[in-house]
Structure 1
Amino acid sequence: MLQSIRSTTEVARGALATCLALAAFAGAQPAVAQDTSAPASLEDLIPDSAVDNPEAWAQQGTDEGVTSAEPVLAAETPIADLPAMPVAWPDDVEIEPLEPLEPEGDIQFADLLEDAPQIAFEDAEIETLSDSLVLGFPQKEPPFTERGDFVDRFEALSTIEELDNGDENVAQLAARAREDEELLATLLRVYGYYDGEIVRTIATRDAGEDSADQNPRVRFDVIPGPRYTYGAIDLGELDTATDAAELRDSFDIQPGEYLQSDTILAEQFDLDRALGETGYAFAEIDEPELLIDHDRVEGDLTMPVRPNGKYVFGGVVSDDEAFLSSRHLERIARFEPGDVYQRSLEFDLRRAITATGLVSSASVEAREIEAPQGDEPGVVAMDVSMERAELRTIAGAIGYGSEEGVRIQASWEHRNLFPPEGALRLRGILGTREQLAGVTFRKNNFGGRDKVLTVDAYASSIDTSAYDARTVALTGTYERTSTLLFQKPLAWALGGEILATDERNRIVDGVARPRQTYFIASLFGRATIDTSDSLLDPTRGFRVTGFLAPETSRTEGEQYYYLRNRVDAAYYQSVGERTVIAARAAFASIQGANLVGIAPSRRLYAGGGGSVRGYGYQSIGPKNQFMEPIGGRSLVEASLEARIGTGFFDGAVSVVPFFDLGSVSTSTTPDFDEIKMGAGVGLRYATGFGPIRVDVGVPLNPEPEDSPVAVYISLGQAF
């Protein structure tokens, strides 16, 4: 028990010493704490009788056995003066100094000068970008003229916008608010506001009247201040150029105009392009530097330009004469020696060489061969370096179609067997409805860029829904083609063919019709006017193609002369952001011979994926007693479809409802005795090489032999 009392006494003594020490630190009298006559400890106040019998001693009260210098205090008597209680000052207590408080990082104040713009935070115009992000514009004068574009660009780049999913908290917003504040300051400088202020506030708000949730919100008050203007503009040696005035106009920035840094980059690009397109093959432009003068509220722009002389084209020099000669490269270039140098034509030559398919890589570099002399331009040669690609190709395909049955196709090609660009191709087809063996000679860029000479000889046997033909033919064509690299507003083709063909209508139910042999010679021409914006997937513009072929045919001892002609027209119009309306019309006729004098394979038919969808290939038109199409001498077709983007797969998928109609007549002018109509819906999947097309069509006024539905799969749009 004594041990317990002593422990308790020690605890009480320690607690009292600590309290007094804190009181002394707060202002108690230090002289009392240093009194040397203070008792050594509280144990001296406890008599031995209390130790021997603590319970009996406790019942005696405090008057016996206790000697105290302290007066007895009654509970009802107020204390006038607190008695002094000497306590030894502990030597082992150290008080650490208080650290100064740092200001909170999220609290910022606009440092507004006496001549600062007029600011009214309470009347600020507000732009609410999301539930978590608000922009305030308290500056009234001068007005923030670029505010609309400024807000759009900030919204597109804001990191807080990425958090706008309902899961925001104060910590997330505070972290991203610092990034967005820097973004706002950067954007202000982009627009020429170099004294701008951004005031950031993060607060919470009730999510609803009956909700205890608190949703945080960030508000930025944007104070742009005055907008800086251009001061001095130094373009280095630009004045030494022959076309200095025109070149200076291409850099459309003048002193006194409002400063905007991304405009500087755009105008730098325009000046560089103007130099490259007006003969300055070796022009140099250093990076622009902007010196801001806050006193003048201006920025001085320095962008050293060195034109380095004007040049004209010389010749084209190949590093592999046996493969693609210099003469051939000059033929496919879109410039002549003596023409003013243009950088775009240099790039175009490199693309044209790559497009031949004969090289794996190509480079074109301008090389000075004559320096400029006074006002006389210099001359540059275009050095071409190439690496040969693999020139032999073996290709094959196996497929099945409801219109053509099983089909196996193979080919072998050497693309430069007869340099330059003389290709030889062997091909064969083995199928249930078609067999073919052929050889083709093709000379690309023959006589000029994108002009192609083709000679094709083949023997074939083909069995379609309309006829069975066995044919031997020789065809030659010279054409100017429109390519994906350079889509031309005018493309054309001239050619001729001779052929012998043994034909008959199809065998039905084992009944064979007599075969009839035709010897045919033809000349033909084709021209296309194209204003569309794409060869494979147009969205605007039109195309018109005309075909004309005077032809003679000898059969059964009779000679026939006739004229085959056809006109196709298509129009494309975008409606909104994702929809294209496409329309097509076609008219064709054969003038000058009756139907008997025209081989079945040369007659006109309708139906199929590129004609009237919902019907079989060549199934529309006059029929014989076996319900076989016999073809006609006039044709009319029309199609209308809407190509509607869906947004699926990043916008690659489109839905295409369509409606087609067509009519074939035995007369040379359409009589519209029977018009077939089809409708349906398709899907398009956009790829890098054109859309993949899947169309499902139904005939609206079918014959008994027509299928109730037809499916077409191909590459490219229907028209």
Structure 2
Amino acid sequence: MRLARTRPLLIASASACCLAWSTAAIGQPVEPPQVVPTVEPASEAAIAAPTPPPPDVSFPEVAPIISDEEFEQAIPQIFAEDDPELNRPLESIADFEKRQAADAAADAPTPTVEGVPVPALADGDAWEVIGDAPITDSQLAAPLPPLENFDVEPVEFAEAEDDRENVGVTYTVQVNGLAAADDSTDVDLADLFGDLSALYDGDGKADNAAMLRARLSADGELMQRILASEGYYDAVVDTRIDRGEREEVQAGQPRQRRAITAVIDVKPGTQYKLAEIILEADPTVPPNLIADNFPLSVGEPIVAQRVQGAEAAIALKLPEEGYPFAEVGQRDILLDGATGDGVYTLPVEIGKRSRFGGIDTTGDLAFDAEHVEVLARFKRGDLYDSRKVDDLRQALVATGLFATVAAEPQPTGESAGDDTEYVTMLVTQQAGPPRTLAASAGYGTGEGLRVEGSWTHRNLLPPEGALIFRGVVGTQEQGIGATLRRSNAGRRDRTVELVAEAKRSDYNAFNAITGRIAARVSYDSTPIWQKRFTYAFGAELIATSEDDYDFARAERSRDFYTIFGLTGQIGMDRTDSLLDPTKGFRVTALIQPEGSLAGRFSPYARARLDVSGYYPVTDNIVLAGRVRAGSILGAARERLAPSRRFYAGGGGSVRGFGYQELGPKDPNLDPIGGRSVAEAAFEGRYRFGNFGVVGFVDAGQVYRGSTPTFSDLRFGAGIGARYYTNFGPMRLDVATPIGRKPGEALVSVYVSIGQAF
């Protein structure tokens, strides 16, 4: 039936085709082929009717290819035209599906429950019997039991579950082909891969096979990135898991178990090298500023770390040479796979060459722009240098007055001559809390436990006028004090302070109640800003009541001393750290001319020299040593207040002995001090991570005369532990005296912050 409907369409299409070619044959213009959308015909007649030719055209006679009779005979007889079954209308899909379902239901056996047939459902579907248990209407209508009373029995599987994918596995790692890349680079790629590898980090164990595959996939990508970072852009990295047989013994019984090896096959390929370097930038002053400070050279491998470091070097160097607004653009590397060459192009925007102009400040101010100028190490007209800006930023941080602070150059457009322009340094301040509570604690044999606390208002008298109250509580020392201090007073790093304090000291050497007023001007190092040269000078007035052993009367007696003195100190520090030096040396010289105001004036001078040095044997082993020598000139020991004499022994002096224990003693074996002192110490420091171990030997002695004779030196030796924090090491030292005498402790312990020296 469908073929009968299609046949006239086929014939009509053939006629139309023949007509088109006939028209072209007689010289009519041929239009280019067009795609015509298919339109459902209204009737067969409309499709079969050809377009009539013009009336004045005559066509030649065309003989038919075959006759109609031959065509009809060639087509086989498919159906009879009078067959009613074939000529009836087609049924719908819905009717067809219903008829199919009805036929299938008629052929299927009727389901029964306990021999009773189960009726069909209302929609014509049959009931489905589940399992062998009979189900009645009453059971279906019964309510479900409560959930808490529902009895659930575990499912029992006929066969054990195959859980091999969730069993922990052990494995080894094998990397093939990486040696070829290692031979052509300065970097040990195997070690670099081992440090970052997930497989090696797993120590040869994985929870299951899926975890092992994930690690292997991640390490394959890691290897690809490592090779690309060393210039192997065409590297091929393949991964696989090899399984072999190995014998394991469990519970005394050997069994075969498959050995697993995670394999990474590497084909590094060619290492690309720089064939040309192009720096696109405007002329600079000096002319070769960029090229001379660009560390890459033609012929070296294209290593990511080297390339990034070279770009960073330019980004740092230009601002140091007067170009605050220089910007390094996006690099372009053109690779030639045939030759292994790379053409490196780097655009650099140098900006305007500039000089320092004024200083402006904004935000929540701790102090004004005038005080910022005191901190700055540059003047108006100096060529811009980012190192001086970093120094200013560091000085601002060192004040301790800011939560955040920034210093950034701002263009002004004002000409400074010599093809430069002025920039204004904009300091953005965010003042932090000005008040601080602090505490520290320490312990030393003979010195006892000592706890010190302080309250500070760092900006009570702006700029940087601080008020400090301090208190000390210890087993052998108690005291209170107040300090008024001006930091950066009139010039950078200069400190002026006034001190008033009172304390009580109770040591074997003396018992004293002391009041002190002092003024001091200093140029000192701080943990943030360590200085090579330091100095201090000042004056002090001391009133103290102290006891001393009177050899004439063979007893201790108390006397009152009023002392006025001057202080002068200079120092040179060439070490790499204030609290934990590892190399360099320090020298400090102190002189204190002073005298007693009780009765006639008795002048004398106290002098002391300290030298320490540090030598790094390896990255984590440091040898350290120090010497000290002191002398008091111009007065007999008996005329000196006991607290102004020299003593030795303790955690900051000669370890292994109690505080102030060395030197001359009275008949009760209590130290009485002397007019000269000599000390030396040697340490070997070994650090591992945040911890350290120290072995040390100390030596020292105090002498009656004003010149140390270096005779009768006493030695102490011990071992210490260090815990390194961000503010310095915490130390615990345990020492014992060598050649211990009666009355001396077998072991002395010292706890404090910072190295011993």
Partner residue in 2 for 1:215: 259
Indicate yes or no: 2:179 matched with 1:135: no
Give secondary structure in 1 for the equivalent of 2:667.
Answer: coil
Structure 2 residue 699 is the aligned partner of structure 1 residue 668: no
Q: Is the 8 A contact 1:676 1:702 kept in 2?
A: no
- Of 477, 498, 515, the residue aligned with 1:434 is 477
**Residue identity matched to 1:469:** A
The 5 A counterparts of 1:296-307 are 296-307=339-350
Alpha-carbon separation, structure 1, partners of 2:396 and 2:179 = 59
1:550 corresponds in structure 2 to 593
Given the superposition, is the C-alpha separation of residues 291 and 715 from structure 1 closer, same or farther in structure 2, using an over 3 Å criterion?
same
Letter in 1 for 2:603: Y
Classify the secondary structure of the residue corresponding to 2:342: strand
Per-residue deviation, residues 289-320 of structure 1 (Å, max 9, x unmatched): 32323245332323321111111111222337
Deviation at 1:269, TM superposition (A): 0.1
The answer to whether the Cα contact below 8 Å between 2:734 and 2:749 also exists between their aligned partners in 1 is: yes
Who is 1:689 aligned against?
727
Contact kept in structure 2, 1:465 and 1:628, CA below 8 Å: yes
* 1:425-476 CA-partner distances (Å, limit 9, x unpaired): 2334455543434321111111322221112122333222211223332222
Give unmatched runs, 5+ long, in structure 1: 1-129
Whole-angstrom CA distance in 2 between matches of 1:213 and 1:576: 47
Tell me the SS of whatever aligns to 1:483.
coil
Q: How does 1:189-268 map to 2 (within 5 A)?
A: 189-198=228-237, 200=239, 202-204=241-243, 212-236=256-280, 238-268=281-311
What corresponds to 1:596 in structure 2? 638
Which residue identity lines up with residue 589 of structure 2 in the other structure?
G
> In structure 2, do the counterparts of structure 1 residues 286 and 522 end up closer, same or farther at CA, with 3 Å as the change threshold?
same
1:176 matched to 2:220? The reply is no
**Aligned pair partner of 1:471 in 514, 521, 529:** 514
The yes-or-no answer on 1:376 pairing with 2:433 is no
The one-character-per-residue Cα deviations of 1:210-267 (angstroms, maximum 9, x if unpaired) are: 984443334444333333233454433x233333411222123344543223321111
Shift of 1:588: 1.1
SS in structure 1 opposite 2:282? helix
Q: Is the 8 A contact 2:366 2:402 kept in 1?
A: no
Q: How far off its partner does 1:362 sit?
A: 1.4
In structure 1, C-alpha distance between the alignment counterparts of 2:729 and 2:709, rounded to whole Å: 36
Give the structure 2 partner of residue 564 of structure 1: 606
* One-letter amino acid of the structure 2 residue matched with residue 268 of structure 1: E
Corresponding residue for 1:583?
A: 625
- C-alpha distance in structure 2 between counterparts of 1:335 and 1:698, whole Å: 53
Distance in 1 (CA, whole Å) between partners of 2:186 and 2:745 is 62
Q: Larger Cα Rg: Structure 1 or Structure 2?
A: 2
Q: Secondary structure at the match of 2:740?
A: coil
Structure 1 294/374 Cα, relative in aligned 2: closer, same or farther at 3 Å?
Answer: farther
Secondary structure of the 2:396 match is: helix
- Secondary structure of 1:329's match? helix
Shift of 1:332: 0.8
**Contact in 2 for aligned 1:310/1:372 (Cα 8 Å):** no
Q: 1:143 to 1:521 in 2, by over 3 A?
A: closer
Deviations 1:80-125 (A, max 9, x none): xxxxxxxxxxxxxxxxxxxxxxxxxxxxxxxxxxxxxxxxxxxxxx
Moved more, 364-373 or 168-177: 168-177
Counterpart Cα distance in 2 of 1:507 and 1:464: 17
Partner of 1:287: 330
Corresponding residue for residue 488 of structure 1: 531
Q: 1:405 to 1:201 in 2, by over 3 A?
A: closer
Quote the offset at 1:398 in angstroms.
8.2
Answering whether residue 195 of structure 2 is matched by residue 153 of structure 1, we say: no
Aligned residue number for residue 384 of structure 2: 341
Pair 1:419 & 2:469 matched: no
2:657 alignment counterpart? 615
**Counterpart for residue 48 of structure 1:** none
Match of 2:616 among 562, 566, 574: 574
Amino acid at match of 1:675: L
Name the CA distance, whole Å, in 2 between partners of 1:361 and 1:685: 29
Structure 1 residues 208 and 136: CA distance shift in structure 2, 3 A: farther
Question: Does the 8 Å contact 2:564/2:597 carry over to 1?
Answer: no
The letter of the residue matching 1:367 is: Q
Q: How many equivalent pairs are there? A: 581
Deviations 1:489-542 (A, max 9, x none): 22222222222333222799xx96333333322222222222222211222222
The aligned counterpart of 1:642 is 684
In structure 1, what is the Cα distance between the partners aligned to 2:246 and 2:402? 65
Q: Please report how far the alpha carbon of residue 357 of structure 1 lies from its aligned counterpart in structure 2 after TM superposition.
A: 1.6
Residue-by-residue CA offset, 1:341-375 (whole Å, 9 max, x unaligned): 12232233223222212222212221112355784
- The match for 2:500 is 457
Structure-2 change in CA distance of 1:574 and 1:144 (3 Å): closer
* Residue number in structure 1 paired with 2:752: 714
Cα separation, partners in 2 of 1:629 and 1:692, compared to 1, 3 Å: same
Which whole-Å CA distance do the structure 1 matches of 2:612 and 2:667 have between them? Answer: 36
Distance 2:348 2:495 in 1: 44
Amino acid across the alignment from 1:560: S
- Between the aligned partners of 2:503 and 2:695, the Cα distance in structure 1 is 37
Q: CA deviation at 1:663?
A: 0.8
The DSSP-based 3-state class of the residue aligned with 2:601 is: strand
Contact 1:168–1:216 at 8 Å: present in 2 too? no
1:143, 1:610 → 2: CA distance? Answer: 52
C-alpha displacement at 1:554, in angstroms? 4.1
Q: Deviations over 1:524-582 (max 9, x none)?
A: 22222222222112222222222122223344x34333221111122222333433222
Q: Distance in 1 between matches of 2:410 and 2:187?
A: 48
Aligned partner letter, 1:596: E
Match of 2:356 in 1: 313
CA distance in 2, matches of 1:444, 1:313: 25
Q: Is the 8 A contact 1:169 1:216 kept in 2?
A: no
1:61-140 matches, within 5 Å, as 131-136=172-177
Answer yes or no: is the 8 Å Cα contact 1:468–1:506 preserved in 2: no
The root-mean-square deviation of aligned C-alpha atoms, in Å, is 3.2
- Cross-structure match for 1:698: 736
List alignment gaps of at least 5 residues for structure 2.
1-170, 249-253
TM-score by length of 2: 0.70
Tell me if the contact between 2:562 and 2:597 (Cα under 8 Å) persists in the aligned partners.
yes
Residue 272 of structure 1: aligned partner: 315
Q: Distance in 2 between matches of 1:135 and 1:506?
A: 83
Is residue 434–residue 462 contact of structure 1 (8 Å, CA) maintained in 2? Answer: yes
> What's the secondary structure of 1:269's corresponding residue?
helix
Q: Which letter does structure 1 place at the counterpart of 2:654? A: V
Deviations 1:254-289 (A, max 9, x none): 445432233211111000001111111111222223
- Asked whether the 8 Å contact 1:241–1:309 carries over to 2, the reply is no
CA contact (8 A) 2:621 2:684 kept: yes
Letter in 2 for 1:132: V
Q: Which residue of 2 aligns with 1:625?
A: 667
Give 1:655's aligned residue.
Answer: 693
Shift of 1:714: 0.7
For 1:94, the equivalent position in structure 2 comes to none
Q: Determine the C-alpha separation between the residues in 1 that align with 2:434 and 2:231.
A: 57
SS state of the match for residue 188, structure 2? helix
Q: Given that residues 133 and 160 in structure 1 are in contact (C-alpha distance below 8 angstroms), is that contact kept between their aligned partners in structure 2? A: no
Question: Structure 1 pair 207/675, CA: closer, same or farther in 2 (3 Å)?
Answer: farther
Cα distance in 1 for residues equivalent to 2:366 and 2:690: 41
TM-score (norm 1): 0.74
Q: AA paired with 2:435?
A: R
* Residues 169 and 215 in structure 1, CA contact (< 8 A), matched pair in contact too: no
| CA shift digits 1:31-53 (9 cap, x unpaired) | xxxxxxxxxxxxxxxxxxxxxxx
